[in-house]
Amino acid sequence: MQSITLIRPDDWHLHFRDGEMLKETVPATARCFNRAIAMPNLVPPVTNADMAMAYKQRILDAVPEGQTLEPLVTLYLTNTTTAEDIREARQKGIVASKLYPAGATTNSDAAVEGIKSLYPVFETMAEVGMLLLIHGEVTESHVDIFDREKEFIDQYLVDITATFPDLKVVFEHITTKDAAQFVLSSSDKVAATITPQHLLLNRNDLLVGGIKPHNYCLPVLKRNIHQQALRDVVASGANKFFLGTDSAPHEKHKKENACGCAGCYSAWSAIELYAEVFEQLNALDKLEGFASLYGPDFYGLPRNTDTITLVKNDWTVPDSIALPTGDDIVPFYAGQTLTWKLA
């Protein structure tokens, strides 16, 4: 096979950041994705509808002439979020809100402490048809970082999905066999996104031979049995799993640091990275469902009608990308060869 034509895909989880960074991240995403769920963990976080709509406009202003992109902005849930905040956001077309346990990832210090206190908000979300997107990790310091996803399932996610059976929940960027099994065993109101890094890598790729800061992300890479479980579910074509890159840019000096930032910036090679995975799995026939169909179906949005084409053409992911700020960023898979390229 020398080419693959897909219905144009969407990215159901990414970080554009803000300000000058948008001049880099928005064109990188618009090159192949039609819609993108924009994470709200800015500084300050996007906590109400007015902030969300202003952020959407800043993203749109950064779309290059001749390209199209529909940013789907989200609300950042806090302990002060109200049912009225949810209703107002939904009236303005906001499709989802994001639950970060406080301290779980970049810019999440203002997030939720005491998840059950948000149950009235979840009830309203179910009522108005707003999706709940969850970063599913506990943050208690005594819990091993490799066990935090499973602990979140046991402590919180089982109860959330049982208490609100009509609430659509996306378990974001899952990393474990436990998470994959939970999603498969749950109702059709529960789905998950999977990143390219968690399909391509495991914790050996982070730690063996020295720490690889540009492979450091949260949730952290897990052992190979969990990586294999994720590869198995995407190869199966199960429609509960769809594309969400979690592309998360950080300047090189912030990654290569004594306390380096978490995040892999994959936007410029995202669809090619996924094609690499699906070819490795002899499952290229399942790529379109994962990338282009299952996400809009779960969100209740129309599938895209235009297409993209990938061609067999070896190319090397650049070692660095110059940012408008004058800094450099090291992209995910920097210096490595991919065999598929967007035509």
Q: What is the pLDDT of residues 265-309, one digit of tens each?
A: 999 999 999 999 999 999 999 999 999 999 999 999 999 999 999
Q: Which domain holds residue 254?
A: 3-342
DSSP code of residue 89: H
| Percent share of the chain, pLDDT over 90 | 94
Token pair in block for residue 59: 């993203």
- pLDDT reported for residue 1: 87
Q: Catalytic: which of 154, 246, 314, 319?
A: 246
Q: How far is CA 261 from CA 105, 250, 255, 272, in A?
A: 9, 7, 5, 25
Asked if residue 103 has pLDDT above 80, the reply is no
- pLDDT reported for residue 108: 58
Asked if residue 21 has pLDDT above 80, the reply is yes
Active-site annotation holds for 246 = yes
Would the annotation count 173 as a binding residue?
Answer: yes
Q: How far is CA 12 from CA 38, 73, 123, in A?
A: 8, 11, 23
Would the annotation count 303 as a binding residue?
Answer: no
pLDDT in tens, 75-97: 999 999 999 999 999 999 999 99
Kind and range of the H or E element at 124? Answer: helix 119-128
Asked if residue 314 has pLDDT above 90, the reply is yes
Token pair in block for residue 49: 């509808």
Q: Residue 213: which pLDDT band, with cuts at 50, 70 and 90?
A: very high
Q: Residue 111: which pLDDT band, with cuts at 50, 70 and 90?
A: low
Give the DSSP per-residue string, 136-191: -----TTS-GGGHHHHHIIIIIHHHHHH-TTS-EEETT--SHHHHHHHHHS-TTEE
- pLDDT reported for residue 109: 60
Q: Residue 326: which pLDDT band, with cuts at 50, 70 and 90?
A: confident
**Among 39, 47, 45, 46, CA closest to 15:** 39
Q: Which residue has the higher pLDDT, 90 or 326?
A: 90
Asked if residue 112 has pLDDT above 90, the reply is no
Mean pLDDT confidence for 313-334? 95
Q: Residue 313: which pLDDT band, with cuts at 50, 70 and 90?
A: very high
| Percent share of the chain, pLDDT over 70 | 97
**Among 73, 76, 41, CA closest to 58:** 73
- pLDDT reported for residue 113: 75
- How would you class 242 by CB atoms within 10 Å of its CB: exposed for 0-12, middle for 13-18, buried for 19 or more? buried
Would the annotation count 135 as a binding residue?
Answer: yes
**Among 92, 89, 137, 130, CA closest to 111:** 137
Q: Residue 26: which pLDDT band, with cuts at 50, 70 and 90?
A: very high
- pLDDT reported for residue 195: 98
Mean pLDDT confidence for 162-189? 98
- pLDDT reported for residue 325: 83
Asked if residue 183 has pLDDT above 80, the reply is yes
Asked if residue 110 has pLDDT above 90, the reply is no
Asked if residue 241 has pLDDT above 80, the reply is yes
Mean pLDDT confidence for 125-132? 98
Average pLDDT of the chain?
96
Mean pLDDT confidence for 184-200? 98
CA-CA-CA-CA torsion for 168, 169, 173, 177, nearest 10 degrees? -110
Would the annotation count 262 as a binding residue?
Answer: yes
Q: How far is CA 44 from CA 47, 96, 125, 269, 340, in A?
A: 9, 18, 23, 29, 38
Would the annotation count 17 as a binding residue?
Answer: yes
pLDDT in tens, 43-63: 999 999 999 999 999 999 999
Asked if residue 102 has pLDDT above 70, the reply is yes
- pLDDT reported for residue 307: 98
Question: Total domain count for the chain?
Answer: 1
Give the DSSP per-residue string, 205-216: HHHTTS--GGG-
Amino acid at 44: P
Asked if residue 107 has pLDDT above 60, the reply is no
Would the annotation count 253 as a binding residue?
Answer: no
Indicate which CATH number applies to the domain containing 104: 3.20.20.140
Backbone angles phi, psi at 272, to 5 degrees: -65, -40
